[in-house]
Amino acid sequence: MKYEVTPDLITGHDMIDREHRQLFDAVNQLLDSFSDNKKAGKEQVNHAAAFLTSYVDKHFAHEEELQKKSGWREFETHHKFHEEYKRQLKEILDRIPEEGPGIQNMSEINVHVVRLITHIRTMDKRLGVFLKTVE
């Protein structure tokens, strides 16, 4: 399965939508590295996992900066989701070097991505609408 920003995930804010595309590219790269594990080894998986973690941090920081600047009332709720999401992602990805890129880890990542998709469809889309009214 490949993740992509489909029309129902478009927020209407160029930077957020662009970063969501890059985020899904990073997820796809990680999942692809799982299937390529026999060829590339754990190094490729670890590199993809590190990049995904870094990109999630960067993207969430950008979104929160927009929220603060615009005075968005749902900032605290959004921020709490981001912090919990990053914590859970780190837990999942930290197990990969020890356990290897197995089916269980891949399944957990997919479940985690579905949480992100739900977040984009609800909170991020509301943020995109709000930002259009204040920018």
Q: What is the pLDDT of residues 32-65, one digit of tens each?
A: 888 755 555 677 888 888 899 999 999 999 999 9
Domain that holds residue 77: 7-134
Is 135's pLDDT higher than 90?
A: no
pLDDT digits (tens, 9 = 90+) for 5-41: 999 999 999 999 999 999 999 999 888 888 755 555 6
- Give the C-alpha distances (Å, rounded to integers) separating 74 from 106, 112, 115, 132: 32, 22, 18, 16
Is residue 1 a part of any domain in this protein? no
CATH number at residue 47: 1.20.120.50
- Answer whether residue 87 is part of any domain: yes
Instruction: Assess if residue 25 is contained within a domain.
Output: yes
pLDDT tens-place string over residues 77-114 = 999 999 999 999 999 988 887 777 778 888 999 999 99
Please state the domain count of the chain. 1
SS3 label, residue 16: helix
In a domain? residue 2: no
Tokens of 122: 């609800």
| pTM given for the model | 0.90
Q: Please give the backbone phi and psi of residue 101, each rounded to the nearest 5 degrees, phi first.
A: -80, 75
- Cα angle vertex 58, ends 54, 61, to 5°? 140
Asked whether 117 and 9 are in contact (CB, 8 A), the reply is yes
